[in-house]
């Protein structure tokens, strides 16, 4: 059972929903996404990768197979992609999305946008990605995870609240955390294309999912410290409609 908790330390007050465990938190976020699609069949979704949303995507696929949701008119934009990995690379985020979600629902592949990691001009591609989001009418619901250092997408500490889609360098801590997905740490790309914090904050609704004690400190700083470049997720407190969905472990350091 989920338990809404009010956080009022920052200028705005993000809604915080604490669920018993990872499974129920993932189910809660899947329900929110399915509800958004059913309310607006042409909804524009912002999607995340990594280990955190895997169970959420599995729940969405289950709902689709049960006839509870239809994605044929949905458009999606992913947050980020590694520079140097093609969409067919097994560790690319395009491949992740196809494996976890796109190949199992009836979304139009031409409406699934993931930054291109192997383009000739990544900076120009980043600008084009921004334009595509604007041309789609903006993102209606943006799903986020959070890094152990408070990063959202690949906006590492030091990223400003007005940053846009761009090429970024990854911190050593992020490279080390992501090494589990590769054969060795040396294989982890050192740069990526990411939506900026300013881009993310323009979404009409934001849902951040975090599970596990490893995310507890980042969650505490994001919700209870003043917004700053040091903790990129703390800028979410400036958004008028943001929800943190946590399991009890991720919420364990909250006052």
Catalytic residue positions?
80, 149, 151, 156
Beta strands at 205-210 and 112-113: parallel, antiparallel or unpaired? unpaired
**3-class DSSP assignment, residue 4:** strand
**φ and ψ at residue 235, rounded to 5 degrees:** -65, -15
Contact between 196 and 129 under an 8 Å Cβ cutoff? The reply is no
Q: Which two tokens stand for residue 146?
A: 């959070």
Q: Please, what is the Cα angle at 83 between 82 and 87, to 5 degrees?
A: 65
- The C-alpha atoms of residue 126 and residue 122 are separated, in whole angstroms, by 6
* Residue appearing with tokens 């400190």: 217
DSSP class of 250: T
- The C-alpha atoms of residue 122 and residue 138 are separated, in whole angstroms, by 21
- The C-alpha atoms of residue 127 and residue 216 are separated, in whole angstroms, by 34
């Amino acid at each position: 059972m989920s338990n809404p908790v009010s956080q009022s330390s920052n200028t705005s007050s993000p809604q915080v929903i604490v669920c018993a465990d990872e499974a129920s938190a993932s189910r809660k976020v899947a329900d929110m996404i399915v509800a958004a699609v059913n309310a607006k069949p042409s909804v524009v979704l912002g999607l995340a990768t990594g280990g955190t949303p895997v169970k959420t995507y599995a729940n969405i696929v289950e709902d689709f197979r049960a006839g509870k949701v239809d994605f044929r008119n949905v458009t999606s934009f992913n947050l980020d992609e590694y520079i140097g990995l093609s969409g067919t690379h097994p560790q690319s985020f395009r491949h992740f999305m196809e494996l976890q979600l796109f190949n199992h629902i009836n979304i139009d592949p031409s409406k699934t946008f993931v930054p291109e990691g192997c383009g000739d001009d990544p900076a120009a591609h980043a600008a084009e990605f921004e334009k595509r989001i604007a041309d789609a009418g903006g993102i209606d619901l943006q799903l986020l995870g959070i890094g152990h250092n408070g990063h959202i997408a690949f906006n590492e500490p030091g990223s400003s609240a007005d940053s846009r889609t761009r090429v970024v360098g990854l911190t050593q801590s992020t490279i080390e955390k992501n090494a589990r997905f590769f054969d060795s740490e040396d294989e982890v790309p050192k740069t990526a294309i990411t939506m900026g914090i300013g881009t993310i904050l323009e979404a009409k609704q934001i849902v951040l999912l975090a599970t596990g004690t490893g995310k507890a400190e980042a969650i505490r700083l994001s919700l209870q410290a003043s917004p700053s470049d040091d903790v990129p997720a703390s800028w979410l407190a400036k958004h008028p409609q943001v929800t943190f969905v946590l399991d009890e472990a991720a919420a364990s350091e909250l006052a």
